[in-house]
A and B are shown apart, each in its own frame.
Chain A
Amino acid sequence: MSASPPQDQAGASAGTVGTPADFLKGVIGKRVVVRLTSGVDYQGLLSCLDGYMNIALEQTEEYVDGAVVNRYGDAFIRGNNVLYISAMESI
């Protein structure tokens, strides 16, 4: 696979809104839950992200099996670990 971020490739379904690139633009500043492939959840305010799904969160709470195990002021998540990013408020 090429090293270019996915958002460069976006637009496969041209003419529609709601593509991953559109989602990434709209979700900045919202409260989100990020689930990793390991099953660990991170809830927080999404401060920025890129097409690799690298994510920076503020006011982050780390959930393991539904219980808070840690809180971080700022957290960076490397994109390869991300299963999904889900908005907790409407976009």
Chain B
Amino acid sequence: MASQILPLELIDRCIGSRIWVITKGEREFAGKLLGFDDFVNMVLEDVTEYINTEDGVKKVRLQQTLLNGNNICMLVPGSSGPEDA
């Protein structure tokens, strides 16, 4: 059987590199992935938070951040965020 990779294995391989996190709401995060747990709570470093509003995109810079997995919708490994897409 061809080798298969599980979704969270893919994210595990992404530890140490940059990742783009898209939430259920109007927010996105891009940063270096330091780790995550079974709930996909994530620790990110050198983070940019992108807040999509009617007036445009607001950017917030953050240092080491623990992102609650509750609101996470999609992960894009190896991407530096919406500006990189």
- The answer to whether the Cβ of A12 comes within 8 Å of any Cβ in the partner chain is yes
The smallest beta-carbon distance between B21 and chain A, in angstroms, is 10
- The answer to whether the Cβ of B64 comes within 8 Å of any Cβ in the partner chain is yes
- The answer to whether the Cβ of A22 comes within 8 Å of any Cβ in the partner chain is yes
Bound complex: CA A82 to CA B27 (Å): 14
Question: Interface size of B by Cβ–Cβ distance < 8 Å?
Answer: 24
Chain B interface main SS type: mixed
Chain B, residue nearest A7 (CB): B37
Given A13-B12, A18-B34, A19-B35, are A84 and B67 neighbors across the interface (CB < 8 Å)? yes
A-B contact count (CB 8 A): 86
Choose among A10, A20, A82, A90 the residue that contacts B42 (Cβ–Cβ < 8 A).
Answer: A20
- The answer to whether the Cβ of B71 comes within 8 Å of any Cβ in the partner chain is yes
Question: Interface size of A by Cβ–Cβ distance < 8 Å?
Answer: 31
A83-B64 in contact (CB<8A): no
- The answer to whether the Cβ of A45 comes within 8 Å of any Cβ in the partner chain is no
Bound complex: CA A25 to CA B8 (Å): 24
